[in-house]
C-alpha cells in the first residue's frame, strides 16, 4: 500500500483497531488478514481491542450469517453493518466496543500507577 510509510504514526499509542471490509470482495477477505497482522498482532494489541465490521452495501444480497473467517480472524468480534436495515444495532455494537476499549485503557493505567507506587 502506498500509505505504508504512515502506518507507524497511525499505530503509535493506538488503543483499538476497527477494520471495515466488504465481505463480498474476496480480495478484502485476504487484505483484512494483513491489516490484522500489521495493526493488531505486531503492536501488540489484544484481540478484544479489534473490531471487524462486514459492511453490506445497499441492495447487496449479502448472506450475512454465513460469513466464516479463517483463524485468527475468527477469534475477533465481527459485526455486520447494513445501514439501510439496522443502523441502531450497529450503533449499539460500536458503543459496546468503545466501552470495552475504555475499560482496557483504565486497567492499563491503574497497572502502570501501581507499578510506579511499588
Q: Mark 5-39 as b/e (b = at least 16 C-beta within 10 Å).
A: eeeeeeeeeeebbebebebbeeebbeebeebbebb
pLDDT at 96: 96
Note down the domain range covering 76.
12-117
Mean pLDDT for the stretch of residues 84-95: 86
Residue 85 lies in a domain: yes
Number of structural domains (the chain) is 1
The residues pairing with 18 across neighbouring beta strands, listed in sequence order, are 51
Residue 6 lies in a domain: no
Contact at 8 Å (CB) between 36 and 19? yes
pLDDT tens digits, residue range 12-67?
888 999 999 999 888 888 899 999 999 999 888 999 999 999 998 877 765 555 68
Residue 3 lies in a domain: no
Residue 47 lies in a domain: yes
Residue 5 lies in a domain: no
Residue 4 lies in a domain: no
Amino acid at each position: 500500500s502506498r500509505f505504508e510509510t504512515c502506518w507507524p504514526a497511525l499505530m503509535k499509542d493506538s488503543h483499538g483497531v476497527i477494520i471495515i471490509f466488504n465481505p463480498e470482495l474476496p480480495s478484502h477477505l485476504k487484505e483484512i488478514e494483513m491489516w490484522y497482522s500489521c495493526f493488531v498482532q505486531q503492536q501488540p494489541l489484544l484481540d478484544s481491542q479489534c473490531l471487524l465490521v462486514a459492511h453490506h452495501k445497499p441492495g447487496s444480497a449479502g448472506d450475512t450469517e454465513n460469513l466464516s473467517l479463517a483463524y485468527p480472524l475468527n477469534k475477533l468480534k465481527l459485526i455486520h453493518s447494513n445501514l439501510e436495515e439496522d443502523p441502531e444495532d450497529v450503533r449499539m455494537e460500536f458503543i459496546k466496543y468503545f466501552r470495552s476499549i475504555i475499560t482496557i485503557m483504565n486497567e492499563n493505567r491503574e497497572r502502570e500507577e501501581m507499578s510506579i507506587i511499588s
